[in-house]
DNA sequence: CTCTCATATCGATGGACATCAATGAACCAA
DNA sequence: TTGGTTCATTGATGTCCATCGATATGAGAG
């Protein structure tokens, strides 16, 4: 089996019980950790930043390779991780793949860090 | 070179330029990624949760080993990572080490995920 | 000083992951 | 079909890291 652990654990659980107020179950903990793990790589953080600041709040993958200084396969890999973590949405338009931030998911993540 | 990368890169930079609004420099990106990396481990997330929900908003290390199901050295390691990432503060009281959440740091992290 | 308890550090190990070059797959144009 | 373009997948490699047992450090207590 291919065990894409990020996708398997991050999405099913709604995420995000507040870390600072309520007791976390082990499932909630794993889900939250997976979401933060997606944000823990500088290249992915830069990709999210580039997409969020692009015109219309969306960007084509073709415009994301050069600014990161990484190879195309590496960028493709990181975009997949961000999508599977629910932080970006992906839409295919002909040959091109367009990405946009998933604001609901980001809101939920932010709430998890909100004090009681 | 000993490269304690978390401590070396996370703290000097103030952290946290909003990911969703302003362009990130490579230093800001690295600092933010380091902070999220500290939150990307289930055991550390649970430790933060336990401390934040403890009486008086602080907890003794001696009470954090059993609930995590990890060995004492492992818990000690994770607490160190959280302190070096600025997410927990550490205070020595006699033989015991007490930890509390660093709310300012958590606020800053939350702001980094706030939309424009 | 000696003993005990709380915590930190060391060294080793297994697994996860970021990265790349090469290749594949899907799409479009001519 | 042929070829070019965009993106994903594969396979290999080096590095990072979570985890543990063993051990060191350090702070009361007696």
**pLDDT tens across B69-80, in order?**
999 999 999 999
Q: What mean pLDDT is reported for chain A?
A: 88
Judged against a pLDDT cut of 70, whether residue B10 lies above it is answered with no
Closest CA to B35 of B10, B53, B55: B10
The SS3 assignment for A89 reads strand
A20 contacts B106 by C-beta, under 8 angstroms: yes
The whole-number Å distance from B70's CA to C4's C1' is 23
Q: Does the C-beta of A115 come within 7 A of strand C?
A: no
Tell me the HSE value of A35 on the side-chain side, using a 13 A CA sphere: 28
- CB contact at 8 A, B45 and A32: yes
Whether the CB of A115 is below 8 Å from some CB of chain B: the reply is yes
Q: Report the nearest residue to nucleotide D6, CA vs C1'.
A: A95
Nearest-angstrom CA–CA distance, A47 and B46: 28
Whether chain B has a CB inside 8 Å of the CB on A30: the answer is yes
pTM: 0.89
Using a CB–CB cutoff of 8 Å, tell me whether A26 touches chain B: yes
């Amino acid at each position: 089996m291919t065990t894409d652990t990020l996708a398997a654990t991050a999405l099913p659980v709604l995420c995000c019980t507040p870390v600072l107020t309520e007791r976390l179950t082990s499932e909630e903990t794993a889900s939250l950790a997976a979401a933060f793990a997606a944000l823990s790589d500088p290249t992915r953080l830069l990709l999210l930043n580039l997409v969020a600041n692009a015109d219309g709040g969306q960007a084509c993958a073709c415009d994301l390779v050069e600014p990161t200084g990484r190879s195309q396969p590496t960028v493709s890999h990181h975009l997949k991780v961000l999508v599977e973590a629910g932080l970006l949405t992906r839409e295919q338009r002909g040959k091109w793949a367009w990405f946009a931030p998933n604001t609901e998911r980001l809101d939920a993540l932010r709430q998890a860090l909100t004090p009681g």
